[in-house]
Amino acid sequence: MATLSRKSTSATTFNNITDGDTLLEFKASLSNHWGAIASWNKTNEFCRWQGVSCSLKHKHRVIKLNLSSEGLSGTIAPSIGNLTFLRTLDLSWNNIHGEIPSTIGHLSLLRNLNLSNNSFHGEIHANLNNCTSLENINLDSNMLTGEIPAFLGGLSRLSSIHLQRNNFSGLIPPSLANLSALQQIYFAFNKLEGPIPKGLGRLSGLEFVQLAANQISGTIPTTFFNHSSLTHFSVALNELNGRLPSDLGNHIPNVQYLLLSMNHFTGTLPASLANATKIYALDVYLDNFTGRVPPEIGKLCPALLSFDTNQLTATTAQDWKFVTFLTNCTRLRVLKLQDNSLGAMLPISITNLSAQLQKLFVGENEIYGKISFGISNLAGLTQLQFSNNRFTGVLPDSIGMLNSLQIFDFDGNQLTGLLPSSIGNLTQLLHLRTDNNKFEGPLPTSLRNLQELTAATFTNNKFTGPLPIEIFNLSSLSFLLDLSNNYFFGPLPPEVGSLTKLAYLYISGNNFSGWIPDAISNCQSLVDLRLDTNSFNGSIPASISKMKGLMILTLFNNTLSGAIPRELGLMDGLEGLYLSHNNLSGHIPESIENMTSLHKLDLSFNHLDGKVPLHGVFSNVTGFLFDGNLGLCGGISELHLPPCLPNSMEHSKRELLAIFKVILPIAGVLLCISLVLIFISLKNKQKSQSTTLAEAHLIDDKYPRVSYAELVQGTNGFDTNSLIGRGRYGSVYKCSLHLKNAITTVAVKVFDLQQSGSSNSFISECEALNKIRHRNLISIITCCSSSDFNQNDFKALVFEFMPNGSLHSWLHQDVQASQQGHGLTLTERLNIAVDVADALDYLHNNCEAPIVHCDLKPSNILLNQELIAHVGDFGLARILSNSTSEQLIDSKSTMGIRGTIGYVAPEYGDGGQVSKCGDVYSFGIVILELFTGMLPTNDVFRDGLTLQKHAENALPGMLMKIVDPVLLTVEEAFESNLQGRRNAMEDISMVMLPVTKLALSCCKQAPIERMCIRDAAAEMHRIRDLHVKKRKTEGEFTIK
């Protein structure tokens, strides 16, 4: 369509047709024609169409097109460029897509362009440079890409630029400093990088600067901090660093929003901020500020004051003086001080803060003393967080006066006594956390009044008595009820079936007894049900199968008996079923093998017998656990169970048993006599036969035999391209073997028999591997003990191949891989820590004789396709006698110190005893390395500094500084907006404190002070499970 002439007044008809036809063509390009444009047609004069305004001076020329929020979709017709008199084009809040037409560049009179909140993509076209009259451009919330064009700096009339929530990348153009009329810059939520141009700070009229959620680096130009016009300044969630000027507050007197959170700012908070008296929100969350909070800052009167997750300190009452000053601020609504190093007692003046205060967070600090009775003065509180401090004494009854509370967290303290019944007055409460304190006595029956409660945790206290029925009448409970690890007793009331909306129910680790009530099947919303570690008896109720949404069911460590109900096989969504350590008997129901979702089934240590099914979870050697059921037979060959007898042989079997009862005692006496006669000769030959016996354990009919020639062929002659690792006593190769009528990829550990101690290592590994079977221990397939082609002795072990290599290779990969985010996520690291803990717990506590690994380190922790950890390399392992559970290290042994420098327990270097405590020490070091990414032998660890001391020095407020940078990169890669990124950092921060404390408890210098591995494994499970629950709910139960 031809471009219109603005000079000819005789072309009215032509102009009329042209602008009208342009609008109709614009309408035709849209895919829906409702709303304002529904009435656009030639029967009406187009200047009267809805959304259209025409010039009074130039008749029939459109000067304004406003179709905001009209539900439009489709694309913009290029002919839009023919509306050459257009001053305002507003198509915001629609669903228009495609690229922004380059013909908009023909609109030289355009002053206001608003295309925000649509789905435009592509780059900003260079033709827009011709819109020389443009004053305001708003392209927020689209999918635009490319760099912010430098030509914008030539549009001299621009006063506001809104480009936030797109995918712009590159630098902020320095040319924008030429825009003397510029007042507003909104570039947040893009992928901008590089420094903030210094020239922008010289724009004297600048009022709004919004650069949050990019990758901007460097320091803030000092020119920005000399602006009397500046009212909003936000650079949150970037990579900025440096210190704030000490006189900052003197030069920004009108600033209202100063948002500096989630950067790398250091130094102290400037006391001069007290002079910026108009501040409404001051947020420095997740930076590196240190020192005390200047008392003068308390003279401000903001609505939001957020200092959380820094390294701020308080050691005396004087250091809390800023809180006393804040008592004069009636506008204060949010005060966040959590996750710092604030100590001493919480000042009594905190109870005199504004009665309108809504959120008070002081958790994750080192505050001690009692919670003041006067806390009830803060009647406007909706969220109150005291978590993870050192508060003592009782929770005051006055807490019940805070009847607006919705979230109340005081977990992780040392509070004692009874939970006050006044807590039942908090009728608006949604979330309640009381866990990890020292509360005792029964739960108050007044909890029945909390009819809005959706989540409550009471775990790890000393609560006693039967559960009050009232708690099960809280129909609002829809997320979590955690009563685990207390001293509750008695039967589980049938009223539990009233929790029909609840997703997670944990009552493990108590003293509940009696039958599991059938009524529990009414909890149709349950996803995770944990009833383990109690004293439940009777049979498993078949009605549990009605809980169709259940994914996890734990019933282990009870005294349940009878058969496993076949109805459990009807639970299509069940992923984990844990029934170990009970008295269950009978056959395994075949229906379970049809459960396609089930990937973990633990039936170990029961009295089950009969045939093991072949399909489903039973075909997964890592997902099916069955130790301690001596009557089982059949199953897949990898389970190495004896074959099942035909039915016709069962009768004969029973007759033979009766005969054996007579014959066996006689044979036993004869056998004892024989053993005495040959004992002396065997004793002399014991050493020479040890290798043969060890091999015999492995080269049994239940393992496929493999020859030296097969290993040579499978590794291409032990070619270096097949080499995947080297160890103290040999090398490991990737190998292809023909096993079970199929080509299988395996790992072959070839022992260097010229190396001193290598033969002993082979024997130790054979003996250890013969006694163990666990999902988190490396699975041996067979061994080879023969001669090579030169008739030299050859010994090798063949293991299951781990495609994801060792944990060491993941933690210490090359720089390029790290920068690309190829690292382990937080959840994966927690899972690996749990896997390793479970493996050690099995070795120490569940084997016939305890086994000490003696060389636990990341290079001996291997990861399969699903990143499930497997502990390997038992060349230094020791099998302990049950009587002592420890052995003296032979200082003259060819093995030398048992372990690897950096990971080996200190007592081993002094010739101390091999014990479980040594493995626990190594586990603690591995955990620290897993979450910091630092080797214990790093060059920085000298002059008395160790990895443990490095972690101790970071407790509690500086832990984010020692987190593995790869972990931070990987976690941030999953988040696409400010809230998501904030949650990722919070998740890491919340995990680092308990993980670090656990690791340090494991690697204490004195063995007697270390945790036992069973407790460490339980704590590691708790940390992982809490993290997983938080991730699954995506912030439903959070204090942030």
Q: What would the DSSP string read from start to end of 483-505? A: --SSEEEEEPPGGGGG-TT-SEE
Residue 548 annotated in ligand binding:
no
Percent with pLDDT over 90 in the chain: 63
> Residue 785: which pLDDT band, with cuts at 50, 70 and 90?
confident
pLDDT at 819: 42
For residue 678, pLDDT over 70 is answered with: no
899 shares its domain with 1009: yes
Of 578, 460, 595, whose CA–CA distance to 528 is shortest?
A: 578
Residue 941 placed within a domain: yes
Residue 264: is it exposed, middle or buried by C-beta count within 10 angstroms (0-12/13-18/19+)? middle
Domain contains 360: no
> Is residue 850 domain-shared with residue 977, that is, in the same domain?
yes
Peptide bond into 1007 cis (omega under 30): no
Q: Is the pLDDT of residue 885 over 90?
A: no
Q: Which of 506, 441, 497, 507 is closest to 469 using CA atoms? A: 497
Q: Of the candidates 743, 767, 800, which is a domain's last residue? A: 800
Whether residues 44 and 118 share a domain: the answer is yes
Contact 704, 782 (CB under 8 A): yes
Determine the pLDDT at residue 7: 37
Name 806's Cβ contacts closer than 8 Å, sequence gap at least 6: 725, 858, 859, 860, 861, 862, 863
Whether residue 722 is contained in a domain is answered as yes
Q: Cα-flanking dihedrals φ and ψ of residue 506, to 5°?
A: -120, 115
If DSSP codes are grouped into helix, strand and coil, which group holds residue 32?
A: coil
Q: Identify whether 63 is part of a domain.
A: yes
Q: Are residues 782 and 877 in the same domain?
A: no
Show the 3-state SS of 119-139. EEEECCCHHHHHCCCCCEEEC
Q: Kindly state the DSSP code that residue 66 receives in the 8-state scheme.
A: E
Average pLDDT rounded to a whole number, residues 737-741: 77
What token pair was written down for 208? 């709004």
| pLDDT category of residue 820 using cuts at 50, 70 and 90 | very low
The active-site residue, picked from 90, 319, 409, 855, is 855
CA distance 406 to 428: 5
Residue 195 DSSP class? P
Joined tokens for residue 610: 């009969």
Q: Are residues 985 and 902 in the same domain?
A: yes
List the one residue out of 903, 815, 909, 823 whose CA is nearest residue 859.
Answer: 903
Helix (H, G, I), strand (E, B) or coil at 276: coil
Residue 730's pLDDT is 84
Position 984 scores a pLDDT of 75
CA distance to 16, 84, 393, 947, per residue, from 11 (Å):
8, 15, 89, 84
Please, which residues have CB within 8 angstroms of residue 325's CB and are 6 or more apart in sequence? Answer: 295, 296, 297, 298, 299
When pLDDT is averaged across residues 167-172 and rounded to a whole number, the result is 96
In a domain, 939, yes or no: yes
Residues 6+ apart with CB under 8 A from 946: 936
Do 498 and 472 touch, CB atoms closer than 8 A? yes
Q: What is the CATH number of the domain that holds 766?
A: 3.30.200.20
* Whether the predicted pLDDT of 833 surpasses 70: yes
φ, ψ at 611 (rounded to 5°): -75, 135
Element (H, E) at 152: none
Residue 920: pLDDT band with limits 50, 70, 90: very high
Beta bridge partners of residue 630, listed in sequence order: none
Confidence of residue 840 (pLDDT cuts 50, 70, 90): very high
Question: Across residues 1014-1034, what is the average pLDDT?
Answer: 84
Supply the range of the domain harboring residue 91.
10-131
Q: Do both 841 and 986 map to the same domain?
A: yes
Question: Which one-letter amino acid corresponds to residue 746?
Answer: V
Nearest of 591, 797, 812 to residue 695 by alpha carbon: 797
Question: Over the stretch 451-496, which tens digit does the pLDDT of each residue have?
Answer: 999 999 999 999 999 998 889 999 999 999 999 999 999 999 999 9
Q: What percent of the chain clears pLDDT 70, i.e. is strictly above it? A: 88
Flag whether pLDDT at 1033 surpasses 50. yes
pLDDT of res. 285: 93
Sole residue written with tokens 């925000």 = 116
Q: Which residues in 388-426 are b (16+ Cβ under 10 Å) and which e?
A: bbebeeebbebbbbbebbbbbbbbbbebeeebbebbbbb
pLDDT category at 822 given cuts 50, 70, 90 is low
Given a cut of 50, whether residue 1 has pLDDT beyond it is: no
Other CB atoms within a 10 A radius of the CB of residue 309 amount to 26
Cβ neighbourhood burial of 466 (10 Å; 0-12, 13-18, 19+): middle
What's the total number of domains in the chain? 3
Q: 655: pLDDT confidence band, cut at 50, 70 and 90?
A: low
Q: Which residues of 914-953 are buried (b: 16+ CB within 10 A; e: fewer)?
A: bbbbbbbbbbbbbbbbbbbbbbbebeebeeeebbbebbee
Say if 434 falls within a structural domain: no
103, 131, 159 - which closes a domain: 131
816 lies in the same domain as 940: yes
Quote the distance between the C-alpha of residue 791 and its chain's center: 54
| Residue whose C-alpha is closest to residue 86's, from 68, 108, 59 | 108
Bridge partner residues of 561 (DSSP) = 583
Tokens in use for 232? 């909003």
**Would you say residue 981 lies in a domain?**
yes
Q: How far is Cα 290 from Cα 311, in angstroms, rounded to an integer? A: 5
What backbone torsions phi and psi does residue 335 show, to the nearest 5 degrees?
A: -130, 115
Q: What is the DSSP string of 517-542?
A: PGGGGG-TT-SEEE--SSEEEEPPPG
* Structure tokens, 509: 């680790």
Distances (CA, A) of 391 to 364, 376, 413, 418: 11, 17, 5, 15
689-718 confidence digits (pLDDT tens)? 444 444 444 444 444 668 888 899 889 888
Domain boundary among 105, 131, 157: 131
What is each CA distance from 354 to 298, 357, 378, 473, 721, in whole angstroms? 13, 5, 7, 36, 71
Please tell me the chain's helix, strand, coil percentages from 3-state DSSP, rounded to the nearest 5: 35, 20, 45
- Is the pLDDT assigned to residue 395 strictly greater than 50? yes
pLDDT of residue 873: 83
Between 699 and 250, residue with greater pLDDT: 250
Q: What is the pLDDT of residue 652?
A: 52
C-alpha 261/C-alpha 711 separation (Å) is: 58
CATH, residue 54: 3.80.10.10
Q: Is 825 in the same domain as 777?
A: no
Using pLDDT thresholds of 50, 70 and 90, give the confidence band for residue 363. Answer: very high
90 close to 162: Cβ distance less than 8 angstroms? no
pLDDT at 34: 78
- Annotated catalytic, 814? no
**823 and 762 assigned to the same domain:** no
Average pLDDT over residues 360-368: 95
Report the side by side order of strands in the sheet with 215-218. Answer: 169-170, 191-194, 215-218, 239-243, 264-266
DSSP 976: -
Return the minimum-mean-pLDDT range out of 66-80, 107-121, 307-321, 888-902.
Answer: 888-902
Strands (DSSP E) along 865-923, which ranges?
869-871, 878-879, 886-888, 913-915
Do 995 and 976 lie in one domain? The reply is yes
Distances (CA, A) of 576 to 118, 141, 154, 797: 44, 42, 64, 32
CA dihedral (99, 103, 106, 112) positive or negative: negative
Whole-angstrom distance, CA of residue 688 vs CA of residue 31:
87
For the segment 115-141, the average pLDDT, to the nearest whole number, is 95
Lowest mean pLDDT among 35-44, 532-541, 680-689, 718-727: 680-689
Work out the pLDDT band at 181, boundaries 50, 70, 90: very high
In this structure, what CATH number is given to the domain that contains residue 833?
Answer: 1.10.510.10
Q: How many CB atoms lie within 10 A of CB 665?
A: 9
Token pair listed for 912: 């101390």
447 or 889, higher pLDDT: 447
| DSSP symbols for 819-875 | HTT-S--HHHHHHHHHHHHHHHHHHHHTSSS-EE-S---GGGEEE-TT--EEE---T
Are residues 885 and 962 part of one domain? yes
pLDDT of residue 966 exceeding 60: yes
User: What is the distance between the alpha carbons of residues 587 and 566, in angstroms, rounded to a whole number?
Assistant: 10
Shared domain for 713 and 813, answered yes or no, is no
pLDDT in tens, 213-247: 999 999 999 888 888 899 999 999 999 999 999 99
The per-residue pLDDT of the chain, averaged, comes to 86
Q: Considering the domain boundaries, does residue 528 fall inside one?
A: no
